[in-house]
Every structure is written in C-alpha cells, then in structure tokens.
C-alpha cells in the first residue's frame, strides 16, 4: 500500500479563502498552476470554460419549477465553469416535500458546452431521496445548490454515467439546517472527463453529513472528485468515504478531500477516507486528504488514504472456495464499489450500475 502524499510544488491554498463569485470574469483562466485545476488539463473540458449555452437535453421524472430568486443563496460559484453556468440565469427548482419513494430525475445531456443549474429544497421535517441520473453525450456543466432545511433528512445521489466521449462537471453546494441529515452519494463511471465538486456547510448546529463516492476509471477516463466539508458551526458530524477502481494504463482518478474545522466548530466529529484499487499497471490515482483544524475543542478528526493492489488475503479466501482468480478479482472490485452503490436504494438502478461495472471489468465497455 502506498500512503498518500500531500501536494508539492503548488502553494497550499486554504479552501475557505477560495474566491466565490457569480461573475465569470472574476475568475482567472483555468491553469494547472491553480490548485483546483492542477490535475485536469483544460483541453479535457471541451470548452466548458469558454462560455455555455442553455441546456437542450432531456429532464424527465420530476416536476421542476423555475425560481431564479434562489440562485446563489447557498453559495456563489467557486470556479470559472460553475460561474459560466450561473451566468446563464436559468434555474431549475426542485421542491421536495416528504415522500415515501425515492425520486428519480433523469438528466440526459446532448450537445456541447451546455450549462444546467438546479436548486433543490428539502422541506423542514421532510425525509427524501433524490437521484440525479446523468446520462447522454456532449459536454455539460452543472451547478447545484441544495437547501437541507432544519430537522430534515435528504439523500442526494448523483450518478455520472454518460457515454465514452462525454464531459461533465458538477459543482454542488449543500447547506444543512439545524439537526438535519444529509447523505450525498456520488457514482461516477461513464464519461471521458468527470469532475464533481460537492461542498457542504452548516446553517444550524447538530447536523450530520455523510458523503460517499464510488468510481471506476478505465480506458483514458479522467474522474475527479473534490468533496469539501466546512465545519463552520458547533456539534456537527461529517463522514466522507470515497472508493475507486482504476483499470488501464491511461486511467486517472483524482480525489481531493477538504475538511475545515473553524474556530466556532467545537464538538465537531469528522472522518474522511479515500481508497483506490489499482487493477493494472500505469493507472494513476491521486489522493489528497486535507484537514485544517482551527479549534482544539473537537470530538474527533481523522483521515485516511490508501491506493494499492488487491488484498491477497481476500483473493486467497475466494479462491480457496473454488472461485478462479480472475472471477475472484472481479468479485472483489464489484464488492468494493457495491459497498457504496448498494446504499442508493433503487434496486433497478443499482443492478444497472453493477452490470456496467462488470462490463468494464471484462473489458467490454469503456
């Protein structure tokens, strides 16, 4: 197992001091000298940084209102691409009242350089599950704000399952009310370039957030996740766990996990973890956990990152039960990712994702 290394060569930027603006011209051009873009060559964005058109793909499965007044009320964009989405001024409002069944919104991308903005409100006391299922082609930049009201409970699942040449970026900002619960699950498997930046901050004490991720990069996929938890209020809990598999010499994944515990955030409890399973030589997994702590009065804070090959003992156990090595390896990878996928709660969607992972493992799908 290789342990993680903290980035060198680029000055460390305190995440909370990052520029936030609605105006694209406030942001410098994207460069690998900028910490937040250091792993992603700008060519891979297919022009999402150069200005966007309105979304012309398909949104189906949920009732959507337009309510422009809400835009920016959780957070202004933190990067140029997200600011380009904001500049379109076209907001889709999803208002979640309590419901029994999980809600599914299919977002089918089409066309290049398009922007899509959501505002999701989860009502006070409401318990909901919402799946944003991204499929399709082209290049899409998304900006999502999520208002998790006091005493409410929201599970938001963002699935990136686009076609081989597609590009998707998604900036997601959630604000958690008092004693609320937020579970954020990311599954990234399809698309040439995938970049998801979920950020959580708190509007009331006693909230809990769990951020989970599963990803599988093969071929020449670049899959990047940058979760951020801003512990700005006391007695909140965060747990971040992302698991990834990489296959093929050009596959590249990036995980940068930022947790900030501010002076006011006494009684914080936080843990972040990233594990990467490297299935072949040459694949590259960058994994950088950053933990900034400004108060000593916390309940606990930890982080772990490990990237490595198969656990020989797991393989031996399965083989000792008659399962051939190649099948045992597939089983271990599927299980590794299924640990996250099984928490989606929609069996059909889970089966679909698992069969895509299986096809990727068998080399049948990029």
**Site residues (CB under 8 A) for other proteins?**
311-314, 316-325, 327-328, 331-332, 334-339, 342
The pair of structure tokens assigned to 338 is: 């299924």
**Is 218 in contact with 253 (CB distance < 8 Å)?**
no
Using CB atoms within 10 Å of the CB of residue 320, give its burial: 0 to 12 exposed, 13 to 18 middle, 19+ buried: exposed
**Residue with smaller CB distance to other proteins, 173 or 336:** 336
Only one residue has tokens 């959507």, namely 64
SS3 category, 194: strand
Burial 131-166 (b: 16+ CB within 10 A, else e): bbbbbbbbbbbbbbbbbbbbbbbbbbbbbbbbeeeb
Q: Which position has the token pair 């930027």?
A: 13
Q: What is the Cα 265 distance to its own chain's centre?
A: 24
Least distance in angstroms from the C-beta of 1 to other proteins: 15
Burial class (CB in 10 A: 0-12, 13-18, 19+), 169: buried
Q: Are 354 and 216 in contact (CB under 8 A)?
A: no
Q: Which residue, chain included where needed, has tokens 């594990």?
A: 275
Cβ pair 308, 336 in contact under 8 A: no
Q: 199 or 332: whose CB is closer to other proteins?
A: 332
**Residue 104 near residue 79, CB atoms below 8 Å:** no
CB of 218 to other proteins, least distance (A): 19
CB of 68 to other proteins, least distance (A): 42
Q: CB of residue 322 vs other proteins: minimum separation in angstroms?
A: 4
Instruction: Between 141 and 337, name the residue whose CB sits nearer to other proteins.
Output: 337
Rounded to an integer, what distance in angstroms lies between the CA atom of residue 359 and that of residue 366?
8
Identity of the residue, 37 or 336, whose beta carbon is nearer to other proteins in the bound complex: 336
Indicate the residue among 101 and 320 with the shorter CB distance to other proteins: 320
Work out how close the CB of 318 gets to other proteins at its nearest, in angstroms, rounded to a whole number: 7
Q: Min. distance of Cβ 112 from other proteins in angstroms? A: 36
Least separation in angstroms between CB 196 and other proteins: 21
With respect to other proteins, which residue has the nearer C-beta, 179 or 314? 314
- Tell me whether residue 239 or residue 314 sits nearer to other proteins (CB atom): 314
């Amino acid at each position: 197992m290789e342990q993680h290394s903290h980035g060198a060569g680029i000055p460390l930027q305190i995440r909370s001091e990052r520029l936030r603006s609605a105006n694209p011209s406030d942001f410098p051009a994207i460069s690998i000298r900028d910490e937040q873009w250091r792993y992603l060559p700008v060519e891979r964005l297919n022009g999402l940084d150069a200005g966007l058109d309105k979304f012309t793909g398909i949104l189906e499965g949920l009732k959507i209102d337009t309510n422009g007044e809400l835009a920016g009320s959780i957070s202004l964009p933190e990067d140029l691409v997200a600011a380009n989405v904001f500049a379109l001024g076209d907001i889709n409002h999803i208002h979640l009242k309590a419901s029994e069944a999980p809600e599914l919104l299919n977002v089918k991308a089409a066309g290049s350089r398009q922007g899509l903005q959501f505002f999701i409100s989860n009502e006070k006391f409401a318990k909901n599950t919402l799946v944003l299922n991204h499929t399709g082609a082209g290049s899409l930049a998304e900006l999502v704000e999520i208002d998790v009201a006091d005493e409410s409970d929201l599970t938001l699942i963002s699935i990136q399952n686009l076609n081989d040449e597609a590009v998707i970026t998604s900036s997601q900002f959630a604000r958690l009310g008092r004693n609320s619960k937020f579970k954020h699950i990311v599954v990234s498997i399809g698309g040439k370039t995938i970049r998801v930046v979920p950020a959580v901050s708190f509007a009331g004490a006693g909230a809990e957030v769990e951020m989970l991720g599963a990803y599988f990069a093969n071929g020449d996929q670049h899959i990047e996740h940058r979760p951020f938890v801003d512990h700005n209020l006391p007695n909140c809990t965060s747990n971040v766990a992302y698991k990834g598999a990489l296959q093929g010499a050009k596959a590249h994944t990036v995980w940068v996990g930022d947790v900030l515990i501010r002076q006011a955030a006494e009684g914080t409890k936080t843990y972040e973890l990233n594990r990467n399973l490297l299935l072949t030589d040459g694949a590259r997994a960058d994994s950088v956990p950053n933990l900034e702590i400004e108060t000593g009065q916390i309940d606990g804070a930890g982080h772990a990152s490990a990237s490595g090959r198969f656990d020989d003992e797991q393989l031996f156990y399965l083989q000792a039960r008659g399962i051939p090595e190649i099948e045992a390896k597939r089983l271990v990878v599927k299980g590794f990712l299924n640990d996250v996928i099984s928490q989606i709660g929609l069996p059909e969607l889970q089966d679909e994702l698992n069969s895509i992972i299986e096809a990727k493992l068998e080399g049948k799908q990029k």
